[in-house]
Structure 1
Amino acid sequence: MSTRRGVGLGAFANRNQTTQSYATHGANLRSTHLSSLQTQLSVFQSLLHSFALEHASTIKSNPTFRAEFARMCNAIGVDPLAASNVKGKSGRKGLIPGLGEGGSFWTQILGGDMNDFYFEVAVRVVELCLETRSENGGLIGVEECRKRVGRGKAIGGGLEVSEDDILRAVKSLEPLGSGFSIIRVGSKQFIRSIPKELNADQATVLEAIQVLGYVTVSMLELNLNWEKARAQTVIDDLLADGLVWLDAQCEENEYWSPQNLLDDSG
């Protein structure tokens, strides 16, 4: 007969005890790390508060400095345009020590001027998009938008409007479900004011126009190895939405982007 003995109940008890010990130790480590991260975040936010108070005038007047400051805020979970009791990226409330709840970071640190500034920029962007929709099919370059917004009546007491300001103003419209969003085509960013997604083929054609100035059906066939039906369908869809304009005076129909034609820098 075999002299081997089966595993006793004591072995199972020891294994369960070891597993429980590891689980408890792991929970303690997670709790300690979370507490440490929360303390560090609180310190960062307190320093951010002091920095904002010290450099308030520069933040208001210098668009580049303002953009970098806003990015620094976002990095630690503080959205300058959101109410101070909104949860940040870390999942904790984005409260800054010494601030009350309900107002945005801009309002409570820099005064209501900054919130009013972004509100006015957002209104100008909406107006411009509506005015130019028949020209560009609801797709306007961020840089062109910035230039045209800057040509109008002074905003925020004459504050200079940067591309970052335009992007943040558009982002502030998202909770309204307005259909305004930022998309990238090739190397350029555009504001889309129509609730319609560009498919991959349409984005490819718009990027080609951005590089070449215009396209024809035969160019798409040759360079993208598309069938003629595919190329013509994509062009027809873009043409129907007003995202390209037709020049029928050439030997073969040419399709141009109104964005390139209307953009001063194009």
Structure 2
Amino acid sequence: MTPSLKLVDATVLVNQGTPEEKIILDHVNLTVESGEFVTVLGSNGAGKSTLFNVIAGSLKLTTGKVFLGDQDVTQMNEIARTKTLSRVFQDPKLGTAPRMTVAENLLLAERRGEKRRLRSRGLTIEKRAELVKIADQMGNGLAQRLDVATGQLSGGQRQALAFLMATEKRPELLLLDEHTAALDPKTSTQLMDLTDQQIRQQHLTAMMITHNLSDALAYGDRLLVMSNGKIAMDYTGEKKQALTLEELLTFFNRY
């Protein structure tokens, strides 16, 4: 089976040819198999966001290659990659259209990668019932606000909507970029439960950056720890299950 993601010697240099030249992603080789749920840890500046930006196409590699499925997407732009890849950011304001209603946002997400013909007015009873079912998955009142402009939602509701939009049409790869970091503890827990449920039910391939060590241990099949632009540790299977919070803290104290 073809992996969902493969990075080959992925390297990013900034300030090339100057005294400030720096490697922010250092010859990273990574294969993520179809259906894997990978959590990614690392201190600030470790290379986590750079890794995601390279995968998503918002940052070009200096050298190396990126494959999504069996396709070499190294030269493909960010917009083209969204046909198969979805991303949820830390900021609830990103990933949704604030002046459009919840229903309109969900309809847009339904047509990701296709020509979009938005017709939210006069929704059929069947389509509205379908959108209510989608929006009700987190149980935070979003389903009762289908006709409300997204910009008027709470941060938690808006982030839940962004996640639902990212998974409404099954992506080949889901990138979760600290998607619960800006939320209060209760809302964060609700969204993490929904995240785990959707990934399992849809058998999604997903990568999740988090600063929450407990979440990194509790969720996912695999844990990557980044440091200085490299993957310093890679825990899978029984090794990940046996990993303790104390061991992770010891690692971070070393780097």
TM-score range, shorter chain: under 0.3
Q: Which has the larger radius of gyration?
A: 1
Using CA pairs under 8 Å that are at least 6 residues apart, name the structure with larger relative contact order, 1 or 2.
2
TM-score (norm 1): 0.25
Structure with greater proportional helix content: 1
TM-score (norm 2): 0.25
